[in-house]
Structure 1
């Protein structure tokens, strides 16, 4: 039986108040590095990302159609129940209980096919050179 693909996990140090800004920087870096917008899923643990709030203002149907179309970065709550897998998932720990962040980390790991970037504190602590250094620029 072939081994499951290994998902790279990178961490960006951020307080809950900084996490959205760090996530936006990560998305910009990913796009600048050549990633297609449709390859990126941004999930928030706390309050919804402002772009998600904006898109929802056009109605639920249009919002969810964007997920199905897959042509742009998609922003959603980390408790997303719809099918959504993207090459890159950016998990934004911008609030919520630690248990919710841990659940969101596990779910986000299952949604990423290549890379998970965690902005804030969620998931197992990585020590040594194997994990991305806190605040390290993301280039993928």
Structure 2
């Protein structure tokens, strides 16, 4: 049916097995440029997860980001292995509609890390749910190129602590 459709329901209801208050990923203050016009630093947060757990932990991270006040259009979720179920769902409406959502920028966008379209979002959630260690390391570098403020890595990808210019050392958060 052509035309706008109502927002689809969330993939899964909030988990009832969480104890205590939800852990929030705080929204940072607006990025401040350092003297000399250098790029603002990108914060890297790591969530320990096996490839089988990575999607669930990524969904939890997205929920925490939204609960902390992030705009859904500021979040990009990239998968290293199999496509996220939400991406598969959106692609079922056709590629044209899927890519139009990226251009509209009004909601969380799910894509394969091999994404070739130019896109930068404030937050990138990298889901290491498969692939080789080399592909995961490549994905980490690519995800850094898509974010302007925060990279949340769910799984094992990239260096444990980066010392490259423009990035902050990673810190682990439990999921």
TM-score interval, smaller chain: over 0.9
Computing the radius of gyration from Cα coordinates, the structure with the larger value is 2
Q: Residue 51 of structure 2 is aligned with which of 8, 13, 16?
A: 16
In the alignment, the residues of structure 2 paired with residue 133 and residue 88 of structure 1 have an alpha-carbon distance, to the nearest angstrom, of 16
Instruction: Determine if the alignment matches structure 1 residue 119 to structure 2 residue 158.
Output: no
Whose helix fraction is larger, Structure 1's or Structure 2's? 1
Structure 2 residue corresponding to 1:79, chosen from 93, 110, 114? 114
Which residue of structure 1 lines up, in the alignment, with residue 22 of structure 2?
Answer: none
TM-score by length of structure 1 reads: 0.92
The match for 2:174 among 110, 135, 138 is: 135
2:80 to 27, 42, 45: 45
Q: Which runs of no fewer than 5 residues in structure 2 stay unpaired?
A: 1-35, 163-168
Deviation (angstroms), 1:133: 2.4
1:1-35 CA-to-partner distances (Å, cap 9, x unmatched) read 42221100000000000000000000000000000
- Aligned equivalent of 1:89: 124
Deviations 1:47-100 (A, max 9, x none): 000000000000000000000000000000001000111000000000001111
SS in 1 for 2:172: coil
Moved beyond 3 Å, runs of 4+: none
Distance in 1 separating the partners of 2:51 and 2:61: 15
Structure 1 CA distance for aligned equivalents of residues 147 and 153 of structure 2: 12
What is the alpha-carbon root mean square deviation over aligned residues?
A: 1.3
Residue of structure 1 in register with 2:28 after alignment: none
Cα distance, 1:126 vs structure 2: 2.7
Give the Cα–Cα distance (whole angstroms) in 2 for the partners of residues 28 and 11 of structure 1: 16
In the alignment, the residues of structure 2 paired with residue 85 and residue 91 of structure 1 have an alpha-carbon distance, to the nearest angstrom, of 14
Structure 1 residue 125, shift from structure 2 partner: 1.1
